[in-house]
A = this chain, B = another copy of it.
């Protein structure tokens, strides 16, 4: 099949993540034939759902809602009922240079949930750009609150859509996990973008060459398949202006970003058969010394779940992607989203 597609396998290193990915056309069907075998298809009955409007008493405590103090809410930010980390224990403070002593921390942190709509039947891609903007602005507001805690080093915003992507409830929601450490992927990214900056004087995300990889563009954002995409049909949405922290986003740009995210979710759903997916907001750590601001640049990563992970990936941290990024970008660029949507 390699000869059919005219491509040989290739290893590419992502300059942002510093990870190698193997592109292996011999293992692929045609890029346009990729479909999810397990559509997300949420079907949990509404009367049991704690995230639906009117069921607020089934949830852990609320942090804030949008609009404030309104029973007819559009978004609620609440505590996670089963938090991975706990806000009610003391953050660890002692640090020394002993490797063994530094290998454990008490599980202090915040694990919140953002209920993205009061209605069970709507998914994120069904909302308007303005409604999606309000969700981003809720993330922003909550990050600003969490940044007041000196012990919180990083806030990971993420969404799991579909059971096989990790969602335990089908009502549209995202999560925020505020961590007392800088996680490994973030440390590696900082090291990698710093290397690029030291060598070129530029931010490597500002410098992304998007021609063949571009999906869509708006005034302030582009969506693209990254040069060394880890997963087939992985999508990044990147600000065209240099911006280290996601929570610098303003209300006007949030609507534009909401429109581009909606377009990507609609294209993914139409082209790939409503796949389960994850999205992650990658941003700059909190409380840095400022030197990192020149070479960090926030972006959104969207990963449809189309292939599994096996022993090779667990063992090496290298991924095998059967779809070349240029091919995935072309397929996604050409998806026609009906006007009525």
Interface residues of A (CB under 8 A from B): 1-2, 8-15, 18-20, 22-24, 26-27, 82-86, 89, 99-100, 102-107, 154, 156, 158-160, 164-167, 175, 177, 179-181, 183-186, 188, 195-196, 199-200, 227-228, 278-282, 301, 303, 308-312, 314-318, 320
Asked whether B24 lies within 8 Å of A104 as measured between CB atoms, the reply is: no
Asked whether A316 lies within 8 Å of B10 as measured between CB atoms, the reply is: no
CB-contact partner of A107 in B24, B107, B199, B310, under 8 A: B24
Asked whether A312 lies within 8 Å of B175 as measured between CB atoms, the reply is: yes
Q: How far is the CB of A130 from chain B (nearest CB, A)?
A: 24
- Known A-B contacts A24-B107, A184-B316, A310-B165; A13 and B195 likewise in contact (beta carbons under 8 Å): no
Asked whether B99 lies within 8 Å of A199 as measured between CB atoms, the reply is: yes
Quickly give the copy total for this chain: 2
Could you jot down 6 A-B contacts, CB within 8 Å?
A9-B83, A158-B311, A158-B312, A184-B316, A185-B317, A186-B317
Asked whether B183 lies within 8 Å of A316 as measured between CB atoms, the reply is: yes
Asked whether B104 lies within 8 Å of A12 as measured between CB atoms, the reply is: yes
Smallest CB gap from A154: residue in B: B316
CA distance A311 to B304 in the complex (A): 11
Asked whether B314 lies within 8 Å of A280 as measured between CB atoms, the reply is: yes
Asked whether A83 lies within 8 Å of B164 as measured between CB atoms, the reply is: no
Q: How far is the CB of A272 from chain B (nearest CB, A)?
A: 17
Asked whether B27 lies within 8 Å of A165 as measured between CB atoms, the reply is: no
CA distance A183 to B227 in the complex (A): 18
Smallest CB gap from A88: residue in B: B8
CB-contact partner of A312 in B106, B156, B303, under 8 A: B156
CA distance A45 to B165 in the complex (A): 30
Asked whether B184 lies within 8 Å of A317 as measured between CB atoms, the reply is: yes
Smallest CB gap from A184: residue in B: B317
Asked whether A316 lies within 8 Å of B166 as measured between CB atoms, the reply is: no
Q: How far is the CB of A28 from chain B (nearest CB, A)?
A: 9
Asked whether A318 lies within 8 Å of B184 as measured between CB atoms, the reply is: yes
B residues within 8 A CB of A320?
84
CB-contact partner of A311 in B9, B22, B89, B159, under 8 A: B159
CA distance A200 to B316 in the complex (A): 27
CB-contact partner of A104 in B13, B18, B315, under 8 A: B13
Q: How far is the CB of A321 from chain B (nearest CB, A)?
A: 10
B residues within 8 A CB of A105?
10-12
CA distance A200 to B282 in the complex (A): 36
B residues within 8 A CB of A83?
9, 24, 26
Asked whether B310 lies within 8 Å of A160 as measured between CB atoms, the reply is: yes
B residues within 8 A CB of A27?
82, 84
Asked whether B18 lies within 8 Å of A184 as measured between CB atoms, the reply is: yes
B residues within 8 A CB of A227?
103
Known: A8-B106, A9-B85. 9 other contacts (CB 8 A): A2-B86, A9-B107, A12-B103, A20-B183, A158-B315, A159-B311, A160-B310, A166-B311, A183-B317
